[in-house]
Structure 1
Amino acid sequence: MLKKFKRVLIGKPMKSNEAQSQKLSNYKALAILSSDALSSIAYGPEQILIVLATVSVIAFWYSLPIAVGVLILLAALILSYRQIIYAYPNGGGAYMVAKENLGTIFGLFAGGSLLIDYVLTVAVSVSAGTDAISSTFPELHSHNVIIAVGLVAIITLVNLRGLTESASILAYPVYAFVAALLFLMITGIYQVVTGHVSSHIHPQVGTPVMGISLFLILKAFSSGCSALTGVEAISNAVPNFKEPAPKNAASTLAVMGIILGILFSGIVFLAYWYGIAPTEKETVLSQLSSSVFGRNIFYYFIQATTALILILAANTGFAAFPLLAFNLAKDKYMPRAFTARGDRLGYSNGIITLGLASMLLIVIFEGNTENLIPLYAVGVFIPFSLSQTGMIIKWIRTKPNGWMAKLTINLIGALICYLILIIFFITKFGQVWMSLIFIPLAVFIFHKIHQHYIAVGGQLKTDITEHLINIKDTENVVIVPVAGVTKVVRQSIIYAKSLSDNVIAVYVGSSKESLHDMHKTWSKWNTGVKLVTLLSPYRSVLTPLSQFIDTVKAKADASHSQVTVVMPQFIAKKWWHSILHNQSGFLIMANLIRRKSVIVTIVPYQLEE
């Protein structure tokens, strides 16, 4: 039943050789990997105006040169990540760049930052989209958390169905949002050019502003750079592209950068020209749409597509997180389970982990994740900075053709990124201090996982020059714990006798009468196997059985014999039947498998009803 339900939700399993069919075309990749970056248009320009508004609305003209600064950083990042795509075609982005050029510790800081950032991407995006829905339908506001968790569950499920299927479903809202904003910009600019918008409703460029400072401008610039979150996602997901993957990924990144630059600059310009000021009750984008179109069908279409893309921005995290987790797991810094493909050939463990982590974050913060946006931005700019620095080291070390131009691009990007990080930590330390705990904690966990895998690998490594054919068989002492005389025990005794002539059945009873009855029944059965009975007045089975096995083990070690415990275990036909029986057998096995040099074998007996 559960299997059929899984097939309905996720779809039929795919063969490994069908992996190529799950590769993304540029059209689909642009939608699924750019949704986070493109969705930031909904709040990036507004963040600039919010900072400038603390001085005066006259300061709003500064949004234009600040937007130019953001576009310069965007260009540097796009050019840099194009270089990263070609240099590291197997994905991994900032993690791979920093690890190879700056050292493992910096790579892990980049990887940890991005993993945390992708969780924040999902939580923040879905919560923002949920707010947009409840703003339209206020009666739903009290159910924000449930709605947000439900939306994450749906997006998780869609991604579990496969990359191409999720891209096919989610591409339409992304392109609808881009089309809606382009139509808004064209209409707005047309009204400006034709004189339908008064030039007196906005401050003139160059107007002196009392109280403005370089520090405030830099703070507004860093806030506006929140529009660049998600730019790195394509470089992390290069293996998801159709061949030639690097070329297709680089082309898609360039197109994304162009679209993002046009939309960002257009919205900033129109917001300035129309004299839009940020308010608590209405977003800048909503005010701009209302000013250009009025409250008609075009306005509501823009609002609907904005809410949709804010929700679907989470999908960038679902596309990039599993691949980054795969690269970390491949290097033994995350559990090996993250390298396994699911039924639909996606890295389903990464998808499920991201979904559950973001749901937990939404529940903890009750769907109000505004305070996480600065932390979200810091989580992006740390790997931005490290990847830029790593590429600088790479060009200096390798000196390929045209390396000076490449070095200049990364140097400019690195300086701006470090500047933004410094501004974030100075101006918003109260909101970003958590990154100083969570990111080092993630790196510490990575190291512990790595140490475990290295230790296990060393212990499991065997010398193949020692030929097994030369090793003599040792005597095997087989112990069979029995709870009575049943078909389960009969099957286990037969199997034990096939392993050795030295088989001991062990029965633990809570009274002398039960021991006597068991001896009497065992004698009548005539198994040819010695029965040892142990009295346990406190009704514990595990303690006396363990002590007996330790005694036998000590004697076996002295005679260089091997001890094997054969556990009889019946298996219920239906899962809920297991609840009706005690689990003493599993408790015994859990205890025994931790003992050195004791082999534990389960002999299952399948119940038919």
Structure 2
Amino acid sequence: MYSRFKRLVIGRPMKSSEIEGEKLGKLKALAVLSSDALSSVAYGTEQILIVLMAAGFAALWYSIPISIAVLGLLLVLILSYRQTIFAYPSGGGAYIVAKNNLGVSTGLLAGGSLLVDYILTVAVSSSAGTDAITSAFPSLHDHRVLIAITMILFLTIMNLRGVTESASVLAIPVYVFVGAIFVLIISGVIKYATGGAHAAVPEMGSTVSNISLFLLLKAFSSGCSALTGVEAVSNAIPNFKKPAERNAAATLMLMGGILGAMFIGISLLAYWYGIKPDPKETVVSQIADATFGRGILYYVIQGITALILFLAANTAYSAFPLLAFMLAKDKYMPHAFKVRGDRLGFSNGIIFLGVLSAILVIVFHGDTESLIPLYAVGVFIPFTLSQLGMMVRWVKLKPSGWVFKFIINTIGMLTTLAITLIFIFTKFSQVWMVFIFLPIVMYLFYSIYRHYMNTAEQLRINPLEERPVLKGSTIVVPVAGITRVVNNSLSYAKSLTDNVVAVYVGFDDEEIERMEKKWEEWNPGVRLIVLRSSYRSIIRPIVRFIETVEWRASETDHITVLIPQFITKHWWHYILHNQSGLMLRAYLINQKNVVITTVPYHLTK
């Protein structure tokens, strides 16, 4: 039943040879890997306005120069990551760049930050999408957590079905969103130019008495949340069709151009229309309302904005499993993250991402504003380390034209470092968890690595000196009575060795006497050891007996505990039987010199 349900939800298993068919072309890759960055225009301008409103409505004109500064940083990041793509065509982004140029610890810091960022990406995107829906339908506001979790579940299933299939489904909404935003921007500009907008807005350059450099820097850093997701293309180069690095670079440049145009367009309209941030209505919703009114176009834009904010999480679903795979390959994450699922995706990484992001949404009650500062810090730390790593690379290798490349990465590093520090100092009360969580992640990385190294050391043998040691075999068969299950188990045990002993645990003299008599009449050719249990425990007397046998025979014999077990026809039948065999197995598995095996006997009714 489980297998049929899995096939229905996930689809048929794919052969390993079909992996090339799962690679992405530029158009699908733009939709999958840029959805996070492109969707951020829905809340990037809003984050600037929220900060500026602390100085009053007159300070809103500062949103334009701040937006231009954000565009400048976007240009630097696009050029920087384009260089990273050609320098490291195998992907991995900030993790690989930092590890190779700045050391393993710095690489793990970048990798850990990115993993945290991708989890937050899913949480923020689903929460922001829910905000767009509740802006249009306020009655759903109290159900935002359930809506967000439902969308996370949908994206998890879609990505488990494979990269190509999810890209084919999700590409259409992304391009419809881009078209809808440009329609909104063009319509809004025309309406403003023709005098259709009559908002009393503060003039550019007007004096604001209570504005401060600290507030402006805080607004700039908040606006930089629109740049999250820019690094995803450089992380996921292996997902591109050949030539992978050229396709990735072209996708990155196209994404930068679209993102920049949409971001400045929304910022200009928000200023011209005198939009103020509202906890119950997004900035994009207010612009669409002012441009089109609450007609069909308004609801189309709100619907597609909500959808793209949900689908923005798909960027993380593409990048997180690949980064987890690289960390697992380097032995810093569990090897389970290296395994491809039935549909050739790294399914364990996809499921892990979905579960953690859903937990975050529940903990923060779907509050986007609370999540965005954590989200931005998580991505700007890798931004900074990646730029610094590339600077070191250019100085070491000095390839042709390296000075210009070095300058680009230096500007990028200094800018992203400044933004990271601004976030830390201006929003420490919201981002302090990062300074607890990242050290824990780093500790886990090193603990996992140490475990794998210790395991490899203990399992490694010298083929020239070490050979299997031949021993005899003693088999202990716990029995609860004389049944076909026991008969089947004893037959199997006697086929392996003559040294077989059956062990029975009784609770009173009458029960023990009855069992001994039946055994003598049956006479299976196996000695029966009867143990008395004064406290009605079956497991404890058997364990003590096995420990005695182990102590006496472990030097000359392999000790095997062979547990009889019947398999019921229906799964729910298990509830009707005690599970002493499973408990015994669980207890004995930690014994060093004991082998535990189970002999199944299948029931047919």
TM tier relative to shorter chain: over 0.9
Which residue does 1:519 correspond to in 2? 516
Equivalents in 1 of 2:75, 2:23: separation in Å? Answer: 27
SS at match of 1:389: helix
Per the alignment, in what secondary structure is the counterpart of residue 54 of structure 2?
coil
Residues 1:570 and 2:566 are matched in the alignment? yes
Cα distance, 1:268 vs structure 2: 1.6
Q: Secondary structure at the match of 2:55?
A: coil
1:307 maps to amino acid: A
**1:15 and 2:15 matched:** yes
**Distance change in 2, residues 1:556/1:281 (3 Å):** closer
TM alignment of 1:120-159, pairs within 5 A: 120-159=120-159
- 1:501-580 to 2 correspondences below 5 Å: 501-558=498-555, 560-580=556-576
Do the aligned residues in 1 keep the contact of 2:218 with 2:422 (CA within 8 Å)?
yes
Is 2:348 aligned against 1:343?
Answer: no
Tell me the distance in 1 between the aligned counterparts of 2:195 and 2:400: 51
For 1:205, the equivalent position in structure 2 comes to 204
Find the counterpart in structure 2 of residue 475 from structure 1: 472
Where structure 1 has 5 or more consecutive residues not aligned to the other structure, the ranges are none
Q: Give 1:34 deviation, angstroms.
A: 1.0
What is the CA–CA distance in structure 2 between the aligned matches of 1:503 and 1:21, rounded to whole Å? 56
Is the alpha carbon distance of 1:472 and 1:381 closer, same or farther for their aligned partners in structure 2, counting shifts above 3 Å?
closer
User: Following TM superposition, by how much is the alpha carbon of 1:260 offset from its aligned partner in structure 2, in angstroms?
Assistant: 0.5
Which secondary structure state, in structure 2, belongs to the residue aligned with residue 564 of structure 1?
strand
Deviation of the 1:295 alpha carbon: 3.1
1:582 is matched with 578
Contact conserved, 2:133 with 2:302, CA < 8 A, in 1? no
Cα distance in 2, alignment partners of residues 472 and 161 from structure 1: 48
Instruction: Indicate the residue corresponding to 2:177 in structure 1.
Output: 177
1:493 aligned to 2:482?
A: no
Aligned residue in 2 for 1:48: 48
Q: Structure 2: which amino acid aligns with 1:112? A: G
User: Is 2:600 the counterpart of 1:604?
Assistant: yes
2:131 corresponds to which letter in structure 1?
A: D
3-state SS in 1 of match to 2:569 = coil
The residue number in structure 1 matching 2:398 is: 399
Render the CA deviation track for 1:101-139: whole Å, top value 9, x for unaligned.
111211121122121221111112112212222332233
| Deviations, residues 62-89 of structure 1 (Å, cap 9, x unaligned) | 2222222111111111112122222222
Paired residues for 1:111-510 under 5 Å: 111-194=111-194, 201-466=200-465, 468=467, 473-510=470-507
Shift of 1:339: 0.9
Give the structure 2 partner of residue 4 of structure 1: 4
Q: Measure the CA separation in 2 of the matches of 1:401 and 1:286.
A: 49
Higher alpha-carbon deviation: 310-319 or 184-193: 184-193
Equivalent in the alignment of 1:85: 85
Q: Summarize deviations over 1:436-495 as a string: whole Å, max 9, x none.
A: 111111111111111111111111112211364xx5622211111111111221121122
**What is the CA–CA distance in structure 2 between the aligned matches of 1:264 and 1:360, rounded to whole Å?**
30
The 3 A distance-change label for structure 1 pair 50 and 366 is closer
Q: Does structure 1 retain, via aligned residues, the 8 Å contact 2:36–2:313?
A: yes
Once residues 565 and 392 of structure 2 are traced to their aligned partners in structure 1, the CA distance between those partners, rounded to angstroms, is 60
Q: Deviation of residue 39 (structure 1)?
A: 0.9
Name the counterpart of 1:109.
109
What letter is aligned with 1:45? T
Q: Distance in 1 between matches of 2:281 and 2:359?
A: 28
Rounded Cα–Cα distance in structure 2 between residues aligned with 1:144 and 1:195: 38
Query: In the TM superposition, what is the alpha-carbon distance from 1:396 to its structure 2 partner?
Result: 1.3
Rounded to whole Å, the distance in 1 between the matches of 2:400 and 2:200 is 52
Superposed displacement of residue 287, structure 1: 2.4
Give how far 1:309 is off: 1.0
Task: Give 3-state SS (helix, strand or coil) of 1:184's partner.
Answer: helix
Provide closer, same or farther for how the CA distance between residues 181 and 335 of structure 1 changes in structure 2, counting only shifts above 3 A.
Answer: same
Q: Give the Cα–Cα distance (whole angstroms) in 1 for the partners of residues 273 and 437 of structure 2.
A: 42
Residue 315 of structure 1 aligns to which amino acid in structure 2?
N
Letter in 2 for 1:541: I
Cα deviation 1:136-174 (Å, max 9, x = unaligned): 223322222222221211111111111111111111111
- 1: distance between equivalents of 2:367 and 2:195? 41
Q: Which whole-Å CA distance do the structure 1 matches of 2:457 and 2:603 have between them?
A: 42
CA-to-partner distance for each residue in 1:27-83, whole Å, 9 max, x for gaps? 111111111111110111122222222224333332222222111111111112122
Measure the CA separation in 2 of the matches of 1:389 and 1:7.
46
TM-score, length basis structure 2: 0.96
Q: 1:592 aligns with which of 569, 573, 588?
A: 588
Q: Aligned letter for 1:582?
A: N
Q: Percent identity?
A: 59
CA deviation digits over 1:525-567, x for unaligned, max 9? 2222111111112111111111111111111135x32212212
Instruction: Give the aligned residue type for 2:397.
Output: T
Q: Is the alpha carbon distance of 1:502 and 1:131 closer, same or farther for their aligned partners in structure 2, counting shifts above 3 Å?
A: same
Sort the Cα spacing of 1:296 and 1:143 in 2 relative to 1 into closer, same or farther, 3 A. Answer: closer
Following the alignment from structure 1 to structure 2, what is the Cα–Cα distance between the partners of residues 215 and 360?
Answer: 34
| Cα distance change on mapping 1:607 and 1:430 into 2, 3 Å | same
Give me the whole-angstrom Cα distance separating, in 2, the residues matched to 1:285 and 1:493.
74
Is the contact between residue 136 and residue 302 of structure 2 (CA under 8 Å) also seen in structure 1? no
Offset at residue 196 of structure 1 (A): 5.1
Aligned AA (1:575): W
* CA apart distance, 1:204: 3.5
**What letter is aligned with 1:548?**
F
Aligned equivalents of 1:295 and 1:501: distance in 2? 86
Q: SS of the residue aligned with 1:54?
A: helix
Contact 2:554 2:593 in 1 (8 A): no
Question: TM-score normalized by structure 1?
Answer: 0.96
Q: State the distance in 2 between where 1:309 and 1:232 align.
A: 19
Q: 1:346: how far off?
A: 0.9
- Per the alignment, in what secondary structure is the counterpart of residue 464 of structure 2? coil
After superposing the two structures, state which structure 1 stretch, 62-71 or 39-48, moved more. 62-71
**Which runs of no fewer than 5 residues in structure 2 stay unpaired?**
none
**Matched residues in 1 for 2:141 and 2:274: separation?**
30
1:497-530 CA-partner distances (Å, limit 9, x unpaired): 2222211111111122222222212222222211
CA distance in structure 2 between the aligned counterparts of 1:361 and 1:48, rounded to whole angstroms: 24
The letter for the 2-side match of 1:578 is Y
**C-alpha deviation, 1:281, in angstroms:** 4.0
Q: 1:301 deviation in Å?
A: 1.9
**Range with greater deviation from structure 2 (238-247 or 206-215):** 206-215
Instruction: Tell me if structure 1 keeps the 8 A contact 2:364–2:370.
Output: no
How far off its partner does 1:195 sit? 5.5
1:91 CA drift (Å): 2.2
Which amino acid is 2:494 matched to? K
Alignment partners' CA distance in 1, 2:552 and 2:466: 28
Give the root-mean-square deviation of aligned CA atoms.
1.8
Instruction: Quote the offset at 1:277 in angstroms.
Output: 3.0
Maintained 8 Å contact 2:132/2:281: no
Question: What SS does the corresponding residue of 1:478 show, helix, strand or coil?
Answer: strand
Cα distance in 1 for partners of 2:7, 2:596 equals: 35
Distance 1:492 1:238 in 2: 54
- Tell me the number of residue pairs that the alignment of Structure 1 and Structure 2 aligns: 605
